[in-house]
Chains A and B, each alone.
Chain A
Amino acid sequence: MMSANRLSAFICLCLVWIVVLTFGFTNRMTAQADGIDPVGLHKLLIVYSEESVQEKAIMLANLSGHFRMTAEMVTLSDMTVSRTKEAEFVIFISSPSPDLRKIAENKLRTLKVPILWIGEPPGGQERNHKTLSAIRYLFKELTYTDRSSPIFRLPELGASIKPIVLAEASDGDQTVPLLVAAESRWFFLSQQLFGIPGKILEDGLHDFFGEAHEERHEGYIRIEDVHPYVEPERLIKIADLLYERNIPYMVAVIPVYVNPKSGEHIQMGQRPEFVRTLKYMADHGASIIMHGYTHQYRMSETGEGFEFWDSIQDTPVDNEEKYTLDKLDRGIAVLLNNGIIPVAFEPPHYTMSQDGYRLLSRYFSTLVAQLQVSDRTYLLTQQPPYRLDSKRHGLHVIPETIGYVLNQPGYPELMRPEIDQMMMVRDSVIGGFFHPYLPIEKLEELLDILYVYPLDYIDLNRENNRVFSDFAEITSSIDGVQVKVLDQVKLDRLGAPPPVVKKSLLSDLTYLVTWGIAFIVLGFLVLFVYILIRLNRKKRAAIFTEREARSR
Chain B
Amino acid sequence: MSGNTLFLISLFSIWLLLLYHMFLALGGYLYSVWVEGQKQHPLPVKKQWPKVTILIPAHNEDIVIRNTLESMVELDYPKDRLQVIVINDNSSDRTGEICDSFADKYPFIQPMHSFPPEGGIGKSAALNRALKHATGEFIAVYDADNNPEKAAIKQLVVAFDDQPLIGAVVGKFRVINARKNLLTQFINIETISHQWMTQAGRWKWFRISSIPGTNFMIRKHVLVQVGGWDGEALAEDTELSIRVYEEGYSIRFYPLAITWEQEPETWKVWFKQRTRWARGNQYVIIKYLPRLLTMKRKKMIFDLLYYFFTYFLFLGGVLLSHTVFLLSALGVVEMTLPGPFILIWLLAYMLFIIEIMITLAIERTELTLKNFFIVILMYLTYSQLWIVLVIRSLWLHIRSVIRREEFKWDKTQRFQ
Contacts and interface: CB of A to CB of B under 8 A. Distances in A.
B354 interface: yes
Interface string A507-540: 1011101110110111011011101100110010
> By DSSP majority rule, is chain B's interface helix, strand, loop, or mixed?
helix
B344 A514 contact: yes
Interface stretch (B18-26, B278-286, B387-395): B18-26
B338 A525 contact: no
A475 to B, nearest CB: 41
B398 interface: no
A106 to B, nearest CB: 61
Contacts of A550: 149, 258, 260
B117 interface: no
B118 interface: no
Instruction: Place the interface of chain B in its size category.
Output: 35 or more
A350 B350 CA distance: 53
B362 interface: yes
A247 to B, nearest CB: 49
A514 B341 contact: yes
Interface in B222-249: none
Given A514-B344, A544-B364, A552-B150, A532 B351 contact: no
B74 A517 contact: no
Contacts of B132: none
Most buried by B among A518, A520, A539, A546: A546
Nearest to A522: B347
B367 interface: yes
A85 interface: no
B340 interface: yes
Contacts of B150: 549, 552
A528 B25 contact: yes
Interface in B320-353: 336-341, 343-344, 347-348, 350-351
B365 interface: yes
A542 interface: yes
A1 interface: no
B320 to A, nearest CB: 15
A525 B344 contact: no
Nearest to B347: A521
Contacts of A542: 36, 364
A506 interface: yes
B364 A525 contact: no
Contact of B351 (A510, A513, A525, A549): A525
A510 B362 contact: no
Nearest to A542: B364
Contacts of B363: 546
B347 A532 contact: no
A545 interface: yes
A531 B364 contact: no
B362 A535 contact: yes
Contacts of A245: none
Contacts of A545: 39
A546 B336 contact: no
A547 interface: yes
A273 B162 CA distance: 83
B166 to A, nearest CB: 24
Given A510-B8, A546-B258, A549-B149, A539 B361 contact: yes
A536 B343 CA distance: 28
Nearest to B357: A532
A529 B339 contact: no
A216 B166 CA distance: 111
A529 B338 contact: no
Interface string B33-76: 00010010000000000000000000000000000000000100
B301 interface: no
A525 B347 contact: yes
Contact of B354 (A511, A513, A529, A547): A529
Contacts of A518: 340, 343-344, 347
Interface string A342-384: 0000000000000000000000000000000000000000000
A17 to B, nearest CB: 26
Interface string B173-186: 01000000000000
Contact of A549 (B258, B358, B362, B364): B258
A528 B74 contact: no
A535 to B, nearest CB: 4
Interface string A26-58: 000000000000000000000000000000000
A529 B361 CA distance: 11
A532 B354 contact: yes
Nearest to B2: A506
B339 A539 contact: no
Given A518-B343, A529-B354, A507 B362 contact: no
A517 B19 contact: yes
Interface in B102-127: none
Contacts of A511: 337-339
Contact of A539 (B5, B337, B343, B367): B367
Contacts of B149: 546, 549-550
Contact of B355 (A507, A528, A535, A549): A528
Contacts of A531: 29, 358, 361
A525 B350 contact: yes
Contact of B22 (A510, A524, A536, A546): A524
Nearest to B39: A545
B374 interface: no
A524 B358 CA distance: 12
Nearest to B23: A524
A552 B36 CA distance: 23
Contacts of B348: 521
B151 interface: yes
Contacts of B358: 528, 531-532, 535
Interface in B1-32: 4-5, 8, 11-12, 15, 19, 22, 25-26, 29
Query: By CB atoms of chain B within 10 A, which of A506, A514, A515 has the most?
Result: A514
A546 B364 CA distance: 9
A521 B361 contact: no
B351 to A, nearest CB: 6
B356 to A, nearest CB: 10
B16 to A, nearest CB: 10
Most chain A C-beta atoms within 10 Å of own C-beta, residue among B4, B339, B340: B339
A536 B361 CA distance: 7
B146 to A, nearest CB: 13
A550 B19 CA distance: 36
B178 to A, nearest CB: 12
B87 to A, nearest CB: 25
Contacts of B347: 517-518, 521-522, 525
B8 A506 contact: yes
A528 B354 contact: yes
Contact of A510 (B26, B338, B350, B357): B338
Interface in A225-261: none
Contact of A520 (B19, B338, B361): B19
Nearest to B32: A535
B317 to A, nearest CB: 14
B262 to A, nearest CB: 14
A515 B149 CA distance: 47
The 6 A-B residue pairs with the shortest CB-CB distance in the complex, in nearest-first order: A514-B339, A535-B361, A521-B347, A528-B354, A510-B337, A511-B338
25 contacts: A506-B337, A507-B4, A510-B4, A510-B338, A510-B339, A511-B337, A514-B341, A517-B344, A517-B347, A518-B343, A518-B344, A521-B348, A524-B26, A528-B26, A532-B367, A536-B367, A539-B361, A539-B367, A542-B36, A544-B365, A546-B149, A546-B364, A546-B365, A547-B365, A549-B151
Interface of A: 506-507, 509-511, 513-515, 517-518, 520-522, 524-525, 527-529, 531-532, 535-536, 539, 542, 544-547, 549-550, 552
Given A531-B29, A535-B362, 13 more contacts: A507-B337, A513-B339, A517-B15, A518-B340, A521-B22, A521-B347, A522-B347, A532-B358, A532-B361, A545-B39, A546-B258, A546-B364, A546-B365
